Chain A
């Protein structure tokens, strides 16, 4: 057990760094650039029952210290993921991967999780009830504790793998949603998904994103994310995966000190494809600077 290793729902990670869903594809764009086996794991692109193109473009807007996206869950659908993406991934990634699942109904969440459940390649199911860029699904489940709990129960009924529920920050009381997920049987929670935002093109006087609104991520959201991870971690006993604007090793340490068991890195991968590798390599020196011997001692301190 190395000094960087942590435990996530009973599975040991060599380090707590996990590229976040939607910023790492199904892994192989990055596997061309570095050995992705150095990662704790990664969360693959949000997968739905049917293939989806997602929202019209433009889907991306630059922001002060961050970005907006309104991709809208573009993915090839669960069948293609099982038949094509995962076998391709197996050639370059030899650790359990985190499967990110999205849906528009309880049945869809359950069906996609049931399809993915038997695959030994998958370590965790990260169930996204927080996508701000689709209508009639996603975030509408994550903004209401009772609806969130219903997704947890639907998914837990069909899988044996650890279920991590990905939460939206676009709520008044994150502790209530976190607690509802725990009470319904979730094995962990991850947060934050993006914060709902928008920008206007001064020339056209119209919203810059074709979807009007999008999700804000990047360093701009880090303090908000940290606060919500802290609040969620104090409300539940299950592991919390912290994310939101994490860009360096010291951000990882802050997240762990706020109560996270592991940390996802999103937008940073898009402006520096080697970001996660650099963060992992910088962790030991950062730990030395603050007198941290092992990352487990931070998790235990929660």
Chain B
């Protein structure tokens, strides 16, 4: 974990409610795709966690959806503004599990952390399939970016306005070696039930500290209690214990 101050380079809207930030700073604390950073935002007490979407030459890309006070404050930030970050939080995705043909499944703002993963897997020369799920055509983002990395991309929309009509589970390819998945919990559950290979599932929970001190984001797993911020956010399919 590093404590560093980043400078905002650009902010742009990807859809009506999803924004992309590019920040300049020391990214050396970030060691794996699937990790997250915790942002300190003026006027808010707790930091706000966001997954790492991309890293390139000291430029960090983050994507967020406007959902409340924290993200509203973020959306008002302008180039040159400084944002204190804790970086390199969480376990991230294990690339060594990928196998011959990894499948990346993202839903909505679960898509961003899979982008850096796709990039890293492509750098290793692996063929990568990506299924990206959204509610409707107007909410699609990063399809072109995944394609530019050489991924075989399938888009699914719930209303059928673009790509396959339905959920990500309606758009899975025939063959894959390991699944990396990030999205809303109902989607994670559906994917978990559907696949027969190993899978790495990235979870989201309301956090206090983001580095393992407060026990705010604990969950039960087959291998014991885990902190989503520390032993997670990525859990393996074999260890997941769905609550209720």
How far, in whole Å, are A45 and B215 apart by their CA atoms in the complex?
Answer: 10
- Say yes or no for A140: interface residue by CB 8 A criterion: no
| A24:B218 contact, CB within 8 angstroms | no
| A273:B215 contact, CB within 8 angstroms | no
Question: Which residues does chain A contribute within 8 Å of B70, judged by CB atoms?
Answer: 62
Within A32-72, the residues touching B (CB, 8 Å) are: 32-33, 45, 53-54, 56-67, 69, 71
Say which residue of A22, A23, A29, A270 sits within 8 Å of B46 (CB atoms): A270
How far, in whole Å, are A57 and B208 apart by their CA atoms in the complex?
Answer: 12
Say which residue of B207, B213, B219, B243 sits within 8 Å of A273 (CB atoms): B213
Within A239-274, the residues touching B (CB, 8 Å) are: 267, 269-274
How far, in whole Å, are A182 and B186 apart by their CA atoms in the complex?
Answer: 53
| Chain B interface, number of residues (Cβ within 8 angstroms) | 28
- Say yes or no for B212: interface residue by CB 8 A criterion: yes
Question: Which residues does chain A contribute within 8 Å of B214, judged by CB atoms?
Answer: 22-23, 60, 69, 71, 270
Say which residue of A29, A54, A67 sits within 8 Å of B218 (CB atoms): A54
| A65:B225 contact, CB within 8 angstroms | no
| A53:B209 contact, CB within 8 angstroms | no
| A29:B213 contact, CB within 8 angstroms | yes
Say which residue of A29, A57, A64 sits within 8 Å of B212 (CB atoms): A29
| B205:A57 contact, CB within 8 angstroms | yes
Residues 77-121 of B, flagged 1 when their CB comes within 8 A of A and 0 if not, give 000000000100000000000000000000000000000000000
Shortest C-beta distance, A169 to chain B (Å), equals 19
Main secondary structure of the interface of B (DSSP, over half): loop
- Say yes or no for B211: interface residue by CB 8 A criterion: yes
Shortest C-beta distance, A261 to chain B (Å), equals 25
Question: Which residues does chain B contribute within 8 Å of A25, judged by CB atoms?
Answer: 212-213, 215
| B225:A29 contact, CB within 8 angstroms | no
| A271:B243 contact, CB within 8 angstroms | no
- Nearest to B40 among chain A residues (CB) is A271
Question: Which residues does chain A contribute within 8 Å of B189, judged by CB atoms?
Answer: none
- Say yes or no for B217: interface residue by CB 8 A criterion: yes
| A273:B3 contact, CB within 8 angstroms | yes
| A67:B3 contact, CB within 8 angstroms | no
Question: Which residues does chain B contribute within 8 Å of A69, judged by CB atoms?
Answer: 208, 214, 216
Shortest C-beta distance, A33 to chain B (Å), equals 7
- Say yes or no for B206: interface residue by CB 8 A criterion: yes
Question: Which residues does chain A contribute within 8 Å of B40, judged by CB atoms?
Answer: 271
Shortest C-beta distance, A230 to chain B (Å), equals 25
| B44:A23 contact, CB within 8 angstroms | no
How far, in whole Å, are A53 and B224 apart by their CA atoms in the complex?
Answer: 10
Question: Which residues does chain A contribute within 8 Å of B242, judged by CB atoms?
Answer: none
Residues 202-244 of B, flagged 1 when their CB comes within 8 A of A and 0 if not, give 0001111101111111111000010000100000000000010
Question: Which residues does chain B contribute within 8 Å of A29, judged by CB atoms?
Answer: 211-213, 230
Residues 34-57 of B, flagged 1 when their CB comes within 8 A of A and 0 if not, give 000000100011110000000000
Residues 170-212 of B, flagged 1 when their CB comes within 8 A of A and 0 if not, give 0000000000000000000000000000000000011111011
- Say yes or no for A74: interface residue by CB 8 A criterion: yes
- Nearest to B217 among chain A residues (CB) is A57
| A56:B243 contact, CB within 8 angstroms | yes
Shortest C-beta distance, B237 to chain A (Å), equals 21
| A57:B45 contact, CB within 8 angstroms | no
Say which residue of A33, A62, A269, A274 sits within 8 Å of B45 (CB atoms): A62
- Say yes or no for A132: interface residue by CB 8 A criterion: no
How far, in whole Å, are A267 and B213 apart by their CA atoms in the complex?
Answer: 10
How far, in whole Å, are A59 and B207 apart by their CA atoms in the complex?
Answer: 8
Shortest C-beta distance, A28 to chain B (Å), equals 10
- Say yes or no for A104: interface residue by CB 8 A criterion: no
Q: A-contacting residues of B (Cβ < 8 Å)?
A: 1, 3, 40, 44-47, 69-70, 86, 205-209, 211-220, 225, 230, 243
Q: 8 A-B residue contacts at CB 8 Å?
A: A23-B214, A53-B220, A59-B216, A60-B46, A60-B216, A62-B69, A74-B215, A267-B45
**Which 3 pairs between the two chains have the least Cβ-Cβ distance?**
A60-B216, A270-B209, A58-B206
